[in-house]
């Protein structure tokens, strides 16, 4: 599975992110037509990566697509951003040292701090619900594993300790489990592991590849991307893996789901308008809306419940 994103052409980078899971009945609920068009919450933001400035940068926008702002402003590629639970810091991946490392910065792009200092590839960072830890994927041991470190980069622990490839960690809202995708049973599937590493459960059983899990805010559902019909679509299942439902049915690729804080909507990226854009839809798959409307590539959205503007570090 391709979890390494190096100095690539724009087309190649898009292919790496869209198709990473390949290397590694349609049902809808009652239609809620009010969610997508509700006014944007003042403190909420959607973070994403975009190459509209010639290289990948970290962007933030309001939930109606307004105020799209470049936060990272660096010549290197800055990708996979996610805001801390208190909205004061952003964790992201950058190759500004020559390979992918985990960094944090304030929400205005200042006070950049490098958290990992290993020559391996370090990707897919994810904050714990209390903001005290960050999970991520690294191949520093020879294969991709899920690691956990403190928010300052210390206290590193290999969580998965498995010879297979494990990637894309996502914390449960109560902090007790981390969902991830891995090929330990041959196919790329979604798994859940306790954050002390004691118990691992397989949640999906598709031979086509399931990846990039995202827990609903109440912890009862998991959205994920699946190639089970030949191209990536967004699916929804119960947190125990039961009752999977396909949410998107567009001929183009739909990938990287991220829940809204109130659990009513899901952000994702899609190529349905000819290039990759950030969309939101209702949690039943209806009412998809393009937020970015930019001819460049916009990928990997992460919805933030709080987003503090201005400098937040001393």
Q: What mean pLDDT is reported for the chain?
A: 88
Domain ranges of the chain: 10-24+35-304
pLDDT by 10-residue block (mean), the chain, 314 residues: 37 38 32 44 89 97 96 97 96 96 96 95 98 98 97 98 97 98 96 96 95 98 96 97 97 97 97 96 98 97 83 45
**Whether 290 contacts 53, CB under 8 Å:** no
- Length of the chain, please? 314
- The two tokens of residue 237 are 């299942």
| pLDDT tens readout for residues 80-114 | 999 999 999 999 999 999 999 999 999 999 999 99
Q: Which one, of 75, 41, 53, lies nearest residue 298 by Cα? A: 53
Q: What are the φ and ψ backbone dihedral angles of 11, each rounded to 5 degrees?
A: -65, -40
Phi, psi dihedral angles at 10 (to 5 degrees): -60, -45
φ and ψ at 141, to 5 degrees? -95, 5
- The Cα–Cα gap between 91 and 101 comes to 11
Q: For the domain made up of 10-24+35-304, give the CATH fold.
A: Neuraminidase (2.120.10)
> What is the pLDDT at residue 279?
98
pLDDT of residue 20: 45
> DSSP strand E in 85-231: where?
89-94, 101-106, 113-114, 122-127, 133-138, 145-150, 157-158, 166-171, 177-182, 189-194, 200-202, 210-215, 221-226
SS3 content of the chain, % helix, strand, coil (to 5): 5, 40, 55
CA nearest 101: which of 119, 75, 76, 89?
119
Contacts of residue 184, Cβ cutoff 8 Å, sequence gap at least 6: 162, 164, 165, 166, 191
Distance in angstroms (rounded) separating the CA atoms of residues 29 and 191: 25
- Give the whole-angstrom CA distance, residue 64 versus residue 196: 38
């Amino acid at each position: 599975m391709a979890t390494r994103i190096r100095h690539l052409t724009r087309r190649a980078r898009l292919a790496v992110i869209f198709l990473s899971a390949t290397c590694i009945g349609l049902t809808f609920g009652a239609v809620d037509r009010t969610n997508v068009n509700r006014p944007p919450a003042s403190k909420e933001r959607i973070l994403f990566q975009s190459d509209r400035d010639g290289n990948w940068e970290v962007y933030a926008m309001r939930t109606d697509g307004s105020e799209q702002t470049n936060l990272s402003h660096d010549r290197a590629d800055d990708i996979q951003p996610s805001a801390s639970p208190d909205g004061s810091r952003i964790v992201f991946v950058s190759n500004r040292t020559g390979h992918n490392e985990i960094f944090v910065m304030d929400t205005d792009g200042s006070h950049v701090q490098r958290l990992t200092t290993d020559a391996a590839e370090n990707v897919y960072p994810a904050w714990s619900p209390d903001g005290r830890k960050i999970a991520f994927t690294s191949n520093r041991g020879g294969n991709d594993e899920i690691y956990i470190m403190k928010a300052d980069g210390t206290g590193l622990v290999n969580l998965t300790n498995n010879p297979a490839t494990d990637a894309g960690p996502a914390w449960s809202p109560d902090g007790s489990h981390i969902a991830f995708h891995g090929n330990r049973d041959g196919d790329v599937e979604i798994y859940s592991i306790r954050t002390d590493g004691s118990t691992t459960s397989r949640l999906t059983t598709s031979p086509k590849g399931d990846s990039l899990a995202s827990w609903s805010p109440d912890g009862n559902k998991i959205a994920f991307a699946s190639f089970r019909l030949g191209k990536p679509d967004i699916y929804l299942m119960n947190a125990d893996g039961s009752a999977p439902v396909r949410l998107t049915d567009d001929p183009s690729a739909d990938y990287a789901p991220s829940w809204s804080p109130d659990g009513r909507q899901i952000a994702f990226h899609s190529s349905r308008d000819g290039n990759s854009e950030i969309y939101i839809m209702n949690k039943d798959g209806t009412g998809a809306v393009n937020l970015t409307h930019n001819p460049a590539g916009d990928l990997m959205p992460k919805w933030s419940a709080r987003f503090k503007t201005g400098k937040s570090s001393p």
